[in-house]
Amino acid sequence: MTEKIITLEDLELVGFLGVENSNIKQVAAAFPQSKIISRGNEITIRGSLPEIVRINEILDSLIQHYQKYGKISKEQVQSYLTLEKNPTTEPNVHLKEEDDVLLYGTKGVVIKVKTPNQQKMVEAASKNDIVFAIGPAGTGKTYTAVAIAVKALKNKEVKKIIITRPAVEAGENLGFLPGDLKEKIDPYLRPIYDALDDMIQPEKLKYFIENRVIEIAPLAYMRGRTLNNAFILLDEAQNTTPMQMKMFLTRMGIQSKVIITGDKTQIDLPTKVKSGLAEASRILDNIKGIAFVELDGKDVVRHRLVRDIIMAYEKSEALK
């Protein structure tokens, strides 16, 4: 009798194994001549070598499925078992990715683009190394940008994600806020954490942050660095100065991609300070490999009144 041990890394064990190991028990029932034991993050297979190879292939497929979609059901387990016994069988519809799905998140959340301009963001990111996504609050530009970056990480297109934003908000001075630097900065990064919570299992997200696979930091921390093989997001870019924007853009290293999001109507810089986002839009408009995507009131995915408020402000600005 041969034995093989599979170690499960960076997986939410209950989600993958099933309640009371139901998913693994389902696989074990299909191979009564072998023994499959699940303890902690290890699965031990004992049996003949040919069966161990077959079971290992099924478990590999289930692991890849879970890493991609963040969930697995008993129907999907059965589909992989059926497919293993008869490889010529057409895969069950449960195994196929929907065309409009951007990412499978946590707790069964399916993350899709919701507007044509969000779809333009996704397409622009696939064809360009730098994308500017500019539009008002509520258009989903930050959420979509984070989803694009997480998908690239899951698909191993990049080795890490770096998310940053300038620590400037509505005229507030960080020096007067309580706590150390992290405690002062974290509230400004809360929208980023909220998006990541929807997209990555808690244990895995904690592991990524602790091991700097995902790094979330204020813009000042980017100075002097070269960021290789990374997906880099700059949020709230309207609050960068021209010098900060230039500094950020020149951090980009080999095999990296950048998405910059911002809202030109919500600049919180001092009155006489120019916005780095506005200047970059003018200077970089015709460079190959850099794309600009404009979102507007029609892309708002929050409460209906948010769309109406934005459109009312746009109309008022046009009359000035």
What confidence score (pLDDT) does residue 91 get?
52
Estimate to the nearest angstrom the gap between the alpha carbon of 161 and the chain centroid: 9
What CA–CA distance (Å, rounded) separates 113 from 136? 17
How confident is the model over 232-291, as pLDDT tens digits? 999 999 999 999 999 999 999 999 999 999 998 888 888 888 999 999 999 998 899 999
Q: Which of 145-149, 153-157, 187-191 has the highest mean pLDDT?
A: 145-149
1-10, 21-30, 111-120: least confidently modelled range: 1-10
> CA of 261: how far to CAs of 44, 116, 123, 130, in Å?
47, 17, 15, 11
pLDDT of residue 146: 95
pLDDT score at 182: 55
* Mean pLDDT across 135-161: 91
Q: Is residue 177 very low, low, confident or very high in pLDDT (cuts 50, 70, 90)?
A: very low
Strand 101-104 to 110-112 pairing: antiparallel
Helical residues (DSSP H) of the chain, grouped into ranges? 13-17, 22-30, 49-69, 74-85, 116-127, 141-154, 181-185, 190-199, 202-210, 242-249, 276-283, 304-319
Q: Is the pLDDT of residue 172 over 50?
A: no
- pLDDT tens-digit profile of 64-93? 888 777 778 888 888 888 887 776 555 554
Q: What percent of the chain is modeled with pLDDT above 70? A: 86
Q: What is the mean pLDDT of residues 168-196?
A: 61
